């Protein structure tokens, strides 16, 4: 619909097509679509990151930088867009590139790093990187995302802590084994979640559990039970999202086939809005439960005791990042729950400069449409299917 109207689509990772897109744009011969044949760059040779200048970083309360040492995840959760964007094969950039990016970040005044790789513990070079960070005394606190099998690897947790991990994000999603199975999140064992919290705590790492509300079998009672189980478990931080059939995922295709998707505005498929018809919960109920979880996971007394636990720990270069992230996220989540926002949408204050509606006429004039229709998921080429097939892990 937008092809031929000045919009070019890239269906693959930038390394594969970006130089060609620039050349075509400069010569006025932009193609409507790039990268149909292969979606993923096999050998990553990303450049060293250039962090923003010190004076720009000063605008932030705590300057943070994202670094992406490895892409891809071997699992097959039906709601996940990562595996559609980055594939199942875990590919990594050279260790030296990551180390040079870390050095540059530290020199620029970055105070903590977020490793944006989705499954840091499945990154084959994770130990080598952590050991190099320790040997070089990089001492830059970092946040890492690990899968729920991290409980099997206490040595890695210890190593990550020594390298600077101050917070571990784990996609817990649900305590219901049948729900996890239906979502093909076979590798999560809710019985082991407490072990993850304990293991991280032993190593001075705070835990951030991510939770999805509104799986097809969820009920109001089930969600409230989830909240109280989670509170009893006591990860330092928890974030909550509404189950969203993200275009391109298996779940999207499934929900679309069943005629369950009700939202037509793609901007709203953001994890904070109800976009489909749930058989047990009305939209307002799910939205209300989301706010309630954001608020009630963080009673003031519990926030205080989590902060006290961090303060009592022996101080090291991670202490400030732990304190800041737990206090900041707890306060933001409580406030968002009270105001009916999402803690990850809008920060602590909103500056309203314009609205989507301000551009509706322009969009109609230029593109001839008011809203792009919901897309169909793009099939992979045969070669990409084969790469995925070889990389996929069998369910644990």
Q: Of 125, 317, 62, 118, which is closest to residue 204 (Cα–Cα)?
A: 317
Q: How far is the CB of 356 from ligand SF4 (least distance, A)?
A: 29
Asked whether 13 and 37 are in contact (CB, 8 A), the reply is no
CB of 88 to ligand SF4, least distance (A): 8
Token output for 11: 């269906």
Find the shortest distance in angstroms from Cβ 173 to ligand SF4: 8
As given in the structure block, the two tokens for residue 224 are 């409230």
Comparing CB distances to ligand SF4, the nearer of 171 and 214 is 171
Residue 91 or 185 having the CB closest to ligand SF4: 185
As a whole number of angstroms, the distance between CA 328 and CA 62 comes to 11
How many Å separate Cα 103 from the centre of its chain?
24
Write out the residues near ligand SF4 by the rule CB under 6 A: 73, 75, 77, 80, 82-83, 118-119, 147, 171, 185
Between 119 and 251, whose beta carbon lies closer to ligand SF4? 119
Smallest gap from residue 6 Cβ to ligand SF4 (A) = 34
Residues 222-249: b if buried by 16+ CB within 10 A, e if exposed: bbeebbeebbebbbbbbbbbbbbbbbbb
- Least distance from ligand SF4 to the Cβ atom of residue 83, Å: 5
Choose between 170 and 223: whose C-beta lies nearer to ligand SF4. Answer: 170
- With 0-12 CB in 10 A as exposed, 13-18 as middle and 19+ as buried, what is 312? exposed
| Exposed/middle/buried for residue 59 (C-beta within 10 Å: 0-12, 13-18, 19+) | exposed
Q: Which is nearer to ligand SF4, 82 or 156 (CB)?
A: 82
> Considering beta carbons, is residue 10 or 210 the nearer one to ligand SF4?
210
Q: Which is nearer to ligand SF4, 118 or 218 (CB)?
A: 118
- Nearer to ligand SF4 among residue 83 and residue 138 (C-beta): 83
**Which of 21, 4, 3 lies closest to 12 in space, CA to CA?**
21
- DSSP code per residue over 123-184: -TTHHHHHHHHHHTT----EEEEE-GGGGG-HHHHHHHHHHTEEEEEEEEE-S-HHHHHHTT
Distance between CA atoms of 177 and 76, rounded to whole angstroms?
A: 16
In the complex, the smallest distance separating the C-beta of residue 94 from ligand SF4, rounded to whole angstroms, is: 23
Closest CB 225 distance from ligand SF4, rounded Å: 22
Query: Helices 193-202 and 154-163: crossing angle, nearest 10°?
Result: 40
The Cα 159–Cα 137 span in angstroms is: 13
| C-beta of 105 vs 148, nearer to ligand SF4 | 148
Minimum CB distance to ligand SF4, residue 354 (Å): 34
What DSSP character marks residue 72?
-
CB of 146 to ligand SF4, least distance (A): 10
């Amino acid at each position: 619909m937008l092809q031929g109207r000045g919009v070019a689509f890239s269906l693959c990772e930038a390394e594969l097509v970006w130089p060609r897109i620039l050349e075509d744009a400069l010569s006025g011969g932009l193609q409507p679509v790039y990268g149909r044949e292969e979606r993923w760059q096999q050998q990553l040779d990303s450049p060293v990151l250039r962090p923003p200048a010190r004076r720009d970083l000063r605008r932030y309360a705590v300057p943070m930088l994202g670094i992406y040492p490895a892409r891809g995840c071997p699992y097959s959760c039906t709601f996940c867009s990562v595996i559609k964007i980055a594939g199942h094969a875990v590919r990594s950039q050279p260790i030296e590139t990551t180390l040079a990016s870390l050095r540059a970040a530290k020199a620029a005044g970055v105070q903590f790093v977020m490793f944006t790789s989705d499954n840091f513990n499945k990154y084959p070079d994770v130990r080598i990187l952590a050991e190099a960070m320790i040997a070089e005394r990089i001492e830059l606190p970092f946040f890492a995302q690990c899968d729920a099998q991290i409980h099997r690897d206490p040595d890695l947790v210890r190593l990550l802590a020594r390298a600077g991990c101050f917070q571990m994000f784990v996609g817990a999603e649900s305590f219901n084994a049948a729900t996890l199975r239906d979502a093909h999140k076979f590798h999560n064992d809710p019985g082991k979640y407490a072990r993850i919290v304990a293991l991280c705590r032993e190593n001075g790492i705070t835990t951030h559990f991510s939770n999805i509300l509104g799986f097809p079998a969820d009920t109001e009672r089930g969600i409230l039970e989830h909240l109280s189980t989670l509170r009893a478990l006591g990860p330092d931080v928890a974030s909550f999202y509404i189950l969203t059939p993200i275009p391109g995922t298996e779940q999207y295709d499934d929900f679309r086939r069943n005629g369950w998707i009700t939202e037509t505005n793609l901007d709203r498929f953001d994890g904070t809005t109800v976009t489909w018809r749930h058989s047990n919960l009305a939209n307002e109920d799910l939205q209300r439960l989301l706010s309630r979880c954001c608020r009630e996971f963080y009673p003031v007394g519990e926030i205080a005791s989590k902060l006290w636990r961090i303060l009592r720990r022996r101080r090291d270069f991670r202490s400030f990042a732990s304190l800041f992230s737990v206090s900041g996220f707890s306060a933001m989540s409580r406030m968002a729950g009270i105001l009916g926002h999402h803690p990850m949408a809008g920060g602590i204050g909103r500056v309203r400069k314009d609205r989507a509606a301000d551009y509706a006429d322009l969009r109609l004039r230029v593109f001839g449409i008011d809203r792009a229709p919901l897309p169909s998921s793009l099939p992979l080429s045969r070669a990409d299917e084969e790469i995925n097939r070889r990389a996929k892990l069998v369910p644990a």
